[in-house]
Amino acid sequence: MWATTRRGLAALVIALGLLTAACSGGDAPPATPPASGPGEPRTAPGSLAPSSAAAFRAARVRLVPVATMQQPVAMAVRPGDRALYVAEQTGRVRAIRNGRLDPAPVLDVSSQIVAGGEQGLLGLAFSPDGRFLYVDFTDRNGDTHVTEFAMRGGRADPASERLVLQVDQPFPNHNGGQLAFGPDGDLYIALGDGGSEGDPNGNGQSLGTLLGKILRIDPRPGNGRPYQIPAGNPFTNRAGARPEIWDYGLRNPWRFSFDPATGDLWIGDVGQDKWEEVDHEPAHSGGRNYGWNLREGTHRFAGDRPAGAVDPVIEYGHDNGACTVIGGAVYRGHDIPGLRGAYLYGDFCAGWVRAARLDGGRVAEQRDLGLNVPQLSSFGVGPDGELYALSLNGAVFRLADAAG
């Protein structure tokens, strides 16, 4: 999941030692969201212009505690709903409504999963119409499931459970787990290379396996299959290639996100022994090879750089306790004007959060925001475009302007 290097392993073992509806029949969210929740958007997320270089350098940020949970690892929002939905690694999806943690779970799959280490409930996403909740978890055999549940009011209906995709995992680490619907309305799924160390099966560079990839599917059934292949997937007509593949050459893309203003894809890909990377992909491009396991970041690992491989736009080493990149999001909220249009990301072991100012899709400069999130596991974006940080220790924070 996160720490997979030798130096990060000891920290990981310590950190993960702790792991151990109101509307009947209605499956769509309210047409008008209630005027409450974690802040009403004063303008639509994505509509605000990026900040200037001077404003970026001057921005000061603080962490505002929102809730305490059990190993929160992923967050999503539901269209037409003000709640924040958070996945706990131990198997529950819970909602923060009106600023308070709802004691009743939205979904509980704890009886179906193995949780601990890099396994458990790892990701969640809502369909663009809000009718379905999709979750990514490892089952009791350690294999990946992407499963669909119909929403009934503010809860998932357990009786509606439908398996969309199952992927055998050869080792217990590098499961990926991120789910997100792209601006095209399709579901994107992150899968690591299958685990162990160094990608011993060569999955990252193989188009014949789903491991080491980001996939794109239409998760609704069709043509006798549990999901459909969207038109335009880059490898649909290539012999021997899996048509679900969107990008490849990834080691463990634990967290990725789409910029709501541009549709660009940002991928935090966890490194091996030396280098962590963030990849940037312009909207709708797909078919990219990010180099693993021949490359770790911009450096040679097991071979020469593949022809046409795409280098990361951000790379950092394991100095000062860093071990595992936690991919974040491009900030398009209102409350921290100096960071508008910047990409924020962090590190699981070191706990820092950094911001990268972008210029035409390129990283123009970076700065440390002076924050510390112990065991940072994920970022999330609220319905108003504000950014949240999750700690495996249990805390959920909102990032806010320190002067506010």
Tell me the residue range of the domain where 177 lies: 6-20+39-401
pLDDT-derived band of residue 403, with 50, 70 and 90 as boundaries? confident
Residues near 95 by beta carbon (within 8 Å), at least 6 away in sequence: 83, 84, 85, 86, 101, 102, 106, 154
Within a domain: 193: yes
Within a domain: 29: no
Quick check: 290 pLDDT over 90? yes
- Give how far Cα 128 sits from Cα of 84, 125, 186, 244, 329, Å: 15, 9, 9, 20, 19
Within a domain: 312: yes
pLDDT-derived band of residue 307, with 50, 70 and 90 as boundaries? very high
Tokens of 178: 């991120």
Q: Which residue has the tokens 């820092």?
A: 352
Within a domain: 341: yes
Domain of residue 284, CATH code: 2.120.10.30
* 112-162 per-position pLDDT tens digit: 999 888 999 999 999 999 999 999 999 999 999 999 999 998 999 999 999
**CA dihedral sign, ordered 109, 390, 173, 78:** positive
Within a domain: 389: yes
Within a domain: 78: yes
* 318-354 per-position pLDDT tens digit: 999 999 999 999 999 999 999 999 999 999 999 999 9
Chain centroid offset of residue 2 CA: 12
Residue type, 15: A
**How many whole angstroms separate alpha carbon 266 and alpha carbon 382?**
17
Within a domain: 33: no
* 80-120 per-position pLDDT tens digit: 999 999 999 999 999 999 999 999 999 999 999 998 889 99
pLDDT-derived band of residue 18, with 50, 70 and 90 as boundaries? very low
Specify the pTM: 0.90
Helix or strand holding residue 9 (H, E): helix 6-16
Domain tally for the chain?
Answer: 1
Within a domain: 30: no
